[in-house]
Amino acid sequence: MAADAPNRAAAAFFDLDRTLMEGSSAFQFGRAAYRAGLLSRRQLIADGWANLLFRMRGASDQVSHDLRERISRDLEGTRVRDVERLGADVLAGVLPRIYPQVLERAYDHQDDGRRVYIVTAASQELADMLAQVLAFDGAIGSQFSEVRDGVYTGRPAGLFIYGNEKALAIQRLAQREGIDLAESYAYSDSASDLPMMRVVGHPVAVNPDAALARAAREQSWEVLRFDRLGRRVKAAVGLLGAAVAGGIGSAAVAAHNRRRRGLVARLKT
């Protein structure tokens, strides 16, 4: 259901990972890079584990900044053109993971006259591609490495759209585009985005981590929940534990019965 129509120019800002999509866009980039020969199998496995943990509990500030540093280093010596050619493969991994409920909310905002933007720590290139495919009005993303002569140097450059810098990027966009932030909306899953959510008049927590859920309760913000992965994984672990315990118990009973039958057989002889 769409929110009330605005009286002035306004916008809706959507975080990407665990907000607009399930899981991590960085992992989808890593899979595409691996298939293109730009990433090792070992790193892909590490990224897969990090993606599972991220989907269950989000990422800390340190993990996010470490990821930026690693991606920047990994890009050293890679042609910009080769990374751009990953676009279709990355989108093939991201698009099926878009939450239809959030996408519908974004389109409701557009229909009510608000501009809709992706605001993400992921690369500006990915953010732009995704915004174009989803028919959003624009995107704000990070720059991971400086470029010289069409090749990444591996040195981080530009804003990392995370935490306070994400809020700053939104404020700069609002100033350029004449957007009234008091009439605008922001959607995120993570407490790291509290600076972004506090610069708008209508913050919405989506699949929030514990810290954001607490802030949302305290501030009476709207909360959307539909990412059940964490609960599914915990349930699976619980079932596995029960199965193991059951297996051990069954084995103990079977062993006891075998011993008992052997004892009875000896007594009869």
Q: Residues 15, 47, 189, 193: which is the catalytic one?
A: 15
Beta strands 147-148; 151-152: pairing state: antiparallel
State the angle between helix axes of 229-268 and 41-57 in degrees (0 to 180), rounded to the nearest 10: 100
Radius of gyration of the chain (CA): 24
Between CA 98 and CA 148 the distance in angstroms is 34
In DSSP terms, 188 is beta-bridged to: 205
Tokens of 168: 């700053």
Tokens of 141: 């993303």
Query: With contact defined as beta carbons under 8 Å apart, do 60 and 209 qualify?
Result: no
Residue 268 pLDDT: 45
pLDDT tens digits along 221-258: 999 998 655 444 443 344 344 444 444 344 433 444 44
Which single residue is written with the structure tokens 């720059």?
Answer: 143
Low-confidence ranges of the chain (pLDDT < 50): 1, 5-7, 44-45, 47-61, 63-64, 230-269
Beta strands 222-224; 202-206: pairing state: parallel
End-to-end CA distance of the chain: 81
3-state secondary structure of 225: coil
Residue 214 pLDDT: 96
Residue 160 pLDDT: 79
Residue 263 pLDDT: 36
Q: Tell me, what DSSP letter sits at residue 59?
A: -
Q: Residues 17, 47, 209, 227: which is the catalytic one?
A: 17
Distances in Å between the alpha carbon of 207 and those of 155, 190, 204, 210, 211? 33, 8, 10, 10, 12
Between CA 131 and CA 124 the distance in angstroms is 10
State yes or no: is 15 an active-site residue.
yes
Residue 106's nearest CA partner among 116, 96, 94 is 116
What single-letter amino acid sits at 153? T
